[in-house]
Chains A and B, each alone.
Chain A
Amino acid sequence: MFNFAFSSISEAIIMESQNGQNHGLYVWSVFGIVFGTLIITFFIYRIKIGNLSKKIK
């Protein structure tokens, strides 16, 4: 159940499938978009709350 699906880091990045297509580009793009969006959103809210708190003070 917990065996690695890839034998090396480069394989995990490229994610070559049995049909010969490399799917790494799609998977890692989505990964970047999801994590990037989450991090930026957290960051923006933190800054906005900080700025508003300063204004109220």
Chain B
Amino acid sequence: MIKKFIHQFASPKTYLMQVDKAYSYIFLTSLIIYLVAIFWGLFLTPEDFVQGNSYRIIYLHVPASFISQSLYLGMAFASAIFLIWKVKLSAYLVRSIAPIGAITTFIALVSGSIWGIPTWGTWWVWDARIISTLILFIMYLGLISLHDSFTNNEKADKFLAILVLVGSVNIPIIKMSVEWWSTLHQTASITISDKPAIDTLMLYPLFASVIGFSGLVLCLVLLSSKLQILNRERNKSWVKKYV
């Protein structure tokens, strides 16, 4: 029953039609939320007692960091669906998410490094959180290279899905790295179980920036998946009619 449901709603053609319908709404809403959140965070929130104004980088760094890990979980989920139910769209999505994941991880690493200069006195330290995030970035690049190195797309999809699932072990390591090891990177300020260690004046724009940035990144994933589907299905008659 689940297999039938997935196959019915996960045809690349149906997916593209839905993407075209939803894209503009998601993009505009996310852009407005993100711009408001950034304005709120950069100009309206008070200065931090310890970090001064450099803490305002949080509104740019945290969303990128959160999304870089979430995208990998999304890839792992799509990989599992592809391997279990052989849904073609899932394989396309795995390949589409990888470059966007690499870009967001790059933003997270660079913004974190720049934030490190005024707060830690250095732009780079070999601590567990930063190394595991760097590994995530290298993994994204490796996955893209692996897929592109195959001439047979079906084989490439299968290898990519398996490797994504194996690599997903890095996500809990990134998350827990600040707890398991002594790191220069601070521990999580927001957890599910405890009250946030960050004041609500700073917390609300942070939530808004995460929502807005996630929406914009989702739009990039939609564009990337559209490109992937058009490229892979280019010889199908429906694609010729579609373009």
Chain A residues in the interface with B (C-beta under 8 A):
1-6, 12, 15-19, 21, 23-24, 26-27, 29-31, 33-34, 37-38, 41-42, 45-46, 48-49, 52-53, 55-57
Q: Given known contacts A26-B57, A38-B216, what 12 new A-B pairs fall within 8 Å (CB)?
A: A2-B44, A3-B44, A5-B43, A17-B53, A21-B54, A24-B53, A26-B54, A30-B60, A30-B111, A31-B38, A33-B107, A52-B227
CA distance A33 to B113 in the complex (A): 12
1/0 per residue, CB under 8 A from A, across B146-170: the answer is: 0000000000000000000000000
Count contacts on B: residues with CB < 8 A to the other chain. 40
Nearest Cβ distance between residue A48 and chain B, in whole angstroms?
5
The answer on a CB contact under 8 Å between B47 and A34 is no
Partner of B103, one of A2, A37, A53: A37
Contact, CB under 8 Å: A56 / B42: no
For window 188-243 of B, CB contacts with A under 8 Å fall at 201, 216, 219-220, 223-224, 226-227, 230-231, 234, 239-240, 243
Shortest Cβ distance from B95 into chain A, in angstroms?
A: 14
B82 contacts partner chain A, Cβ-Cβ < 8 Å: no
Report if A5-B46 is in contact (Cβ < 8 Å); known contacts: A45-B223, A56-B234. yes
Cβ contact within 8 Å between B57 and A30? yes
What are 12 pairs between A and B in contact, CB < 8 Å? A2-B44, A15-B52, A23-B54, A26-B54, A30-B110, A33-B114, A34-B111, A42-B220, A42-B223, A45-B223, A52-B227, A57-B240
A49 to B52, CA, bound (A): 43
Residues of B within 8 A of A42 (CB): 219-220, 223
Q: Within B45-101, which residues are at the interface with A (CB < 8 Å)? A: 45-47, 51-54, 56-57, 60-61, 64, 100
Bound-state CA distance A16–B100 (Å) is: 34
Determine how close the nearest CB of chain B comes to the CB of A3; give it in whole angstroms: 7
A21 touches B57 (CB 8 A): no
Any chain A CB within 8 A of the CB of B137?
Answer: no
Q: How far is the CA of A32 from the CA of B57 in the complex (A)?
A: 11
Please determine whether B103 and A41 come into contact, CB atoms closer than 8 angstroms.
Answer: yes
The answer to whether A56 and B230 touch (CB under 8 A), given A27-B54, A34-B60, is yes
Q: What residues of B have a CB within 8 angstroms of the CB of A12 in the complex?
A: 42-43
**A17 contacts which chain B residues (CB < 8 A)?**
47, 51-54
Within 8 Å by CB of B227, from A3, A23, A48, lies A48
Which residues of A sit under 8 angstroms from B57, Cβ to Cβ?
26-27, 30
